[in-house]
Amino acid sequence: MKCIEIIITSTNTEIDINCESTKIKQVFINLIKNAIDAMENNGEIRIIIDKVSDHIQVRVIDQGAGIPQELLMKIGEPFYTTKEKGTGLGLMVCYQIIEKHEGTIHVDSKVGVGTTFTITFPIPKAT
């Protein structure tokens, strides 16, 4: 319904992590849907995958409305939503799933510029 481009880039050709793939898919669906919701009718969402020291980092970067500084702390709280038909559960689920994978999730945002969700995963130990 919108004209939004999703661009995925990775600095490494192949990166493996240990995960429950359906859950991780859920995380990215939630983040990308939020990014689309936050954006007007056009723009781009960039997904950048990097290997950073001892973990894998995935950034979901949008050009949406952004989140005011004073509301950033509410992000991930159950039932916190600014949408008429929102549930306020998407991010809570994302936080839970990432925590179970021993990863981290962090949000940076600037009103009028956009929002970046940064997720990290541990690199599996070689066996």
Ligand X SMILES: Nc1ncnc2c1ncn2[C@@H]1O[C@H](COP(=O)(O)OP(=O)(O)O)[C@@H](O)[C@H]1O
Residues found near Mg ion in the complex (CB under 5 A)? 34, 90
Taking CB under 6 A as the criterion, the residue among 24, 27, 56, 62 binding ligand X is 62
Q: What angle do CA 37, 64, 122 make, to 5 degrees?
A: 85
Please report how close the Cβ of residue 127 comes to ligand X at its closest, in angstroms.
36
Residue type, 75: I
Looking at residue 65, what DSSP letter applies?
A: -
Token pair 């038909």 is found at 85
Taking CB under 6 A as the criterion, the residue among 67, 98, 105, 119 binding ligand X is 67
Taking CB under 6 A as the criterion, the residue among 51, 86, 102, 124 binding ligand X is 86
User: Can you list the alpha helix ranges (DSSP code H) found in the chain?
Assistant: 21-38, 90-100
Residue ranges that bind ligand X, judged by CB under 6 A:
30, 34-35, 38, 62, 64-65, 67, 75, 80-83, 86-92, 115
